[in-house]
Structure 1
Amino acid sequence: MWDRSFLILHGVENRRPEGHWERELAMDLRERGEQVFYPQLPDTDRPSLADWTDAIRSELALMRGEKVVIAHSLACAAWMHLAAADAASANPLAADRVLLVSPPGPAAYDWDVIAGFTTVGLDLAALRLASKSVRLACSDADPYCTEGAAEHYGRPLGCEVDVIPGGGHITPDDGYGRWPSALAWCLDESERLVPNA
């Protein structure tokens, strides 16, 4: 019987490529005998919020034990929308721990491809993203969150925040293939997310 399971969610235009820290994380967790869900979300080039949230709910239904979600980029926005919808229906999201990495900022939603995922208008302070803990890992130099995710999301969400100096959008192009501290956090929620050496 699994005592925990992990759900790893990618962003727009992401086909779970080799060398991406999320793919490396999925492999590293599986090598340790962990149960990992790492789905390809539908229509990654022109995503639909409804399709993504439906897919995420389906994955959540398969998880057992402690449920740990790791979301990158646009998947962070999808997770926030799920939390808002579930709060309105009085059904809390079935996740124990959540790690949000590099959520897009308000200006990013000017791009029509992701406009339907905008978090503008969500009451971030009222969202309950997980039953135990939420951590935000973000850069101080993310071109997709020029507003600064630590301030824009971290403060209203009231979550723990780890700022990655100069980390860009925290992708392989920014030096984040294998990311040891992401794995460390998955295995122990007290671990902080730190820059790759």
Structure 2
Amino acid sequence: MTPTLIIVPGLGDSGPGHWQTLWQHRFGAGRVQQDDPDHPLPEVWAARLHEVVGATPGELVLVAHSAGVATVAHWARLFGAEDRVRGALLVAPADPGQPGMADLHPELLALAPLPLEALPFPALLVYSENDPYCTPERAEALAGAWGASAVSAGEAGHINVDSGHGEWPDGEILLSEALHAWTPPAVVRF
């Protein structure tokens, strides 16, 4: 059985040309829609993710971008393990501790501090070498703390529409590979 993708957007709810929105339509994914997508509050955003997870049947895969990555980390800390979550694709995390964040997006400061406990499900963190919201070193440190695998997307900016990632076919490949890795082998009985 194929798991249901749950899209966890960051600031601004990932607009119509964003790869998350395109994936939602292409794959029939669920989506976390925050009441105020421009002002993240960890407890509020995590609670909305918890509502969506609870209302979506079957196995799930979380697909988070930017502040949505922080939402997944806060959700795991606040609500614990959810056995139906097979894994998470965490893309371009926004680090509220990044130098200059107060100038880039001061609203992201509300997400600090990021939880550093291991996630209760497998995860793949995809980061960029030139993301203004998170250094490669910090992305790798977050992946290590969360027990996630990490992969560089090269110089891909914030892996959003502004950096030329509408469809993002490389992301689909990464998701497919991660899903394959997270799928337990079939039991064969003789």
TM range (shorter): 0.7 to 0.9
Offset at residue 3 of structure 1 (A)? 4.7
Counterpart position of 1:17: 15
Contact in 2 for aligned 1:79/1:129 (Cα 8 Å): no
Counterpart position of 1:74: 67
> One-letter code of the match for 1:74?
A
CA 147–190 in structure 1, closer or farther in 2 if over 3 Å, else same? closer
Contact in 1 for aligned 2:118/2:145 (Cα 8 Å): no
Counterpart position of 1:5: 4
90, 98, 122: which one aligns with 1:107: 98
158, 162, 172: which one aligns with 1:183: 172
20, 25, 47: which one aligns with 1:27: 25
Counterpart position of 1:48: 41
Q: 1:175 & 1:96 partners in 2: Cα distance? A: 29
Offset at residue 187 of structure 1 (A)? 4.2
Offset at residue 41 of structure 1 (A)? 1.5
Contact in 2 for aligned 1:102/1:142 (Cα 8 Å): yes
Contact in 2 for aligned 1:71/1:100 (Cα 8 Å): yes
Q: Does 1:116 align with 2:128?
A: no
TM-score, normalization by structure 1: 0.78
Structure 2 residue runs of 5 or longer lacking an equivalent are: 182-190
| Alpha-carbon displacement from aligned partner over 1:50-80 (angstroms, at most 9, x marks no partner) | 2211111110012222210000000111111
Q: CA RMSD in A?
A: 2.3
| Alpha-carbon displacement from aligned partner over 1:144-170 (angstroms, at most 9, x marks no partner) | 113634323122223211101111110
CA 39–151 in structure 1, closer or farther in 2 if over 3 Å, else same? closer
Contact in 2 for aligned 1:142/1:167 (Cα 8 Å): yes
Q: 1:96 & 1:129 partners in 2: Cα distance? A: 10
Offset at residue 18 of structure 1 (A)? 1.8
CA 47–162 in structure 1, closer or farther in 2 if over 3 Å, else same? same
| Alpha-carbon displacement from aligned partner over 1:67-105 (angstroms, at most 9, x marks no partner) | 10000000111111111223xxxx413421101101112
When the two structures are aligned, how many residues end up with a matched partner?
A: 176
Structure 1 residues 40-189: aligned runs within 5 Å:
40-86=33-79, 91-94=80-83, 95-105=85-95, 106-107=97-98, 110=102, 111-120=105-114, 122=115, 124=116, 126-130=117-121, 133-146=122-135, 148-189=137-178
Contact in 2 for aligned 1:142/1:168 (Cα 8 Å): yes
TM-score, normalization by structure 2: 0.81
Structure 1 residue runs of 5 or longer lacking an equivalent are: 31-35, 193-197
- Partner of 1:52, secondary structure, is helix
